[in-house]
Chains A and B, each alone.
Chain A
Amino acid sequence: MSNPGVLVRVIDYSKCMGCETCEVVCGFIHELGPFIRLYDLGGGVKRPISCFHCSKAPCVEACPTGAMRRDSQGTVYIEFSRCIGCMACLYACPFGIPDYSETTKTSIKCDLCRLLRGDGLIPACVAMCPSRAILVGLPKAVGDEVKKRALTRIVQLGEIK
């Protein structure tokens, strides 16, 4: 891939309104998905969670067959032909992200839309989020945007626009 930088994805929960668009588009393009899902936290609040693509990913460390691996942009994905469905990755993951698929008999999870990225596109959840609550990019760019948003809230420049 042309961009060798490591991608990070951040969900900005101060912007998320729980509209379910991310989950729906993810489920539409991934037969085994969705890989970003909303959970009901009570009181009518639903928010999404998905793989964090950790830089020191416990799932990659725990995987006994080397199926859990990284692509050139640092995104953690599963090489299905190597996965034995032991779910050691699930035990290792502090967020409980990997799921077991009855269809493939393997672990499954978000790969930040590898196929779309291969075509120079961005992950579907990021592309379609109405409130721009899901950010993806190089760590510096995403970090800057998150800090800018926080600063806007603090200084309350929001109303000017």
Chain B
Amino acid sequence: MKFAFLCQQKPGLSRQKIAVVGAGPAGLTAAGYLVCRGHEVDIYDKLPIPGGMMTFAIPKYRIPLDSIMEGVEELRDRFGVKLNLSTKVTCGERHDEGDELAVNTVDMLKLVENYDATLISTGTWRSRKLGIPGDDAKNVMSALEFLLDIHMEELGLRASHLGSFKKVVVIGGGLSAVDAAEESILKGASEVYLVYRRTIKEAPAGEYEIRRLSRLGVNWIELAAPKSVTIENGVARGVVFQRMKLGEPDESGRPRPIPVPGSEFEVEADIVAAAIGEIPTPPIASECGGIGKHVGKDGKIAVDKSFRIPGTNIFAAGDVVTGPSKIGQAVGQGLRAAKEIDRFLSVKVLVAR
């Protein structure tokens, strides 16, 4: 991915300094646009390798690491972008998935002071919890944690913490669920179950992807929702599901799954991976000098039309603004936000003179 696809080299002298927090598709693409407008860009990311979900969640056969790294290396070597990896930028306390991999911490508000503008593109690194008895067992995790662990080992960064596993139960019907189920198969799991509370028609990943997984050997179970995790000696051994039937459309417009009484059944599991939705993780986890009020209950950063947190020089783009989306949408957010940052800084220069 040639993030600086709009120019061969930086035009003229460096203009202003911009921090990009979060090196996923939105942040890297924004950096590419901004260097082509002559700005100096520093990137911060909590993980040891850039790319965000593209590097640590999406299977490598879909996005080769080279594809991301060639663009990142060009940003670094040809455009002088500074990469501050394994560095968590935050204001206030909150644990997100993957935070344990950060070595350094930088205070968000101090960082902002050192730059003419800051772009927040930290994505969605928190997963919804199952919220059922037994879901705190060590081998019950989010699909994101599961995928992160597999990718860490694949990338040669550390040995897997998962131990050996044969039976994997993935709960959910979206793309994270599909990726977790597929990686399980690729890792040699002998029984993989993908369990969704509605039917294949409603699954956000789409019928095609689920049928493809079925051909790979994944057992697709629809119309079932988890009720409890069966624990033996502190370790999850299985998941009890309850059958569902479809009712009237709910607020999302999809038919509401309604539990069928007395229909419980159990599926054995060495690993339970929940992929029931990811939540935005802005580097703002408290009041943070007044900017905290721009973070919604759902974790999304509320920005104005120009991607700016009103009254500040802080911008936000990508999944941290929209919630989970496709790579293309995050790339588009990064581009449009970068254009606005460039405009904002040009106006600032005019006013200052």
Q: Indicate whether A21 sits within 8 Å of B331 (C-beta atoms), given known contacts A28-B336, A43-B207, A44-B208.
A: yes
Which residues of chain B (189-241) have a CB below 8 Å from chain A? 203-209, 211
Q: Which residues of B contact A116 (CB under 8 A)?
A: 5-6
Q: Is the CB of B2 within 8 A of A131?
A: no
Interface size on A, residues (CB 8 A): 29
Q: Tell me the minimal C-beta distance from A92 to chain B in angstroms.
A: 30
Instruction: Assess whether A132 is interfacial by the CB under 8 Å rule.
Output: yes
Instruction: Assess whether A96 is interfacial by the CB under 8 Å rule.
Output: no
Q: Which residues of A contact B336 (CB under 8 A)?
A: 28
CA distance A132 to B1 in the complex (A): 8
Q: Is the CB of A121 within 8 A of B207?
A: no
Q: Which of A67-75, A81-89, A122-130 contacts B (4 or more CB under 8 A)?
A: A122-130
Across the interface, A24 reaches (CB within 8 A) one of B68, B206, B332, namely B332
Across the interface, A130 reaches (CB within 8 A) one of B206, B327, B332, namely B327
Instruction: Assess whether B64 is interfacial by the CB under 8 Å rule.
Output: yes
Instruction: Assess whether A45 is interfacial by the CB under 8 Å rule.
Output: yes
Q: Is the CB of B61 within 8 A of A20?
A: no
Q: Indicate whether A24 sits within 8 Å of B331 (C-beta atoms), given known contacts A121-B7, A128-B29.
A: yes
Q: Indicate whether A130 sits within 8 Å of B68 (C-beta atoms), given known contacts A45-B206, A121-B6, A158-B61.
A: yes
Instruction: Assess whether B168 is interfacial by the CB under 8 Å rule.
Output: no
Q: A45-B206, A127-B5, A132-B67 are in contact. List 11 more A-B contacts (CB 8 A).
A: A18-B326, A20-B326, A21-B328, A21-B331, A29-B6, A42-B207, A44-B204, A116-B6, A119-B8, A130-B25, A131-B67
Q: List 6 A-B contacts (CB under 8 A).
A: A20-B327, A21-B25, A121-B5, A129-B67, A130-B68, A158-B61
Q: Is the CB of A21 within 8 A of B7?
A: no
Which residues of chain A (86-135) have a CB below 8 Å from chain B? 116, 119-122, 124, 127-132
CA distance A22 to B206 in the complex (A): 21
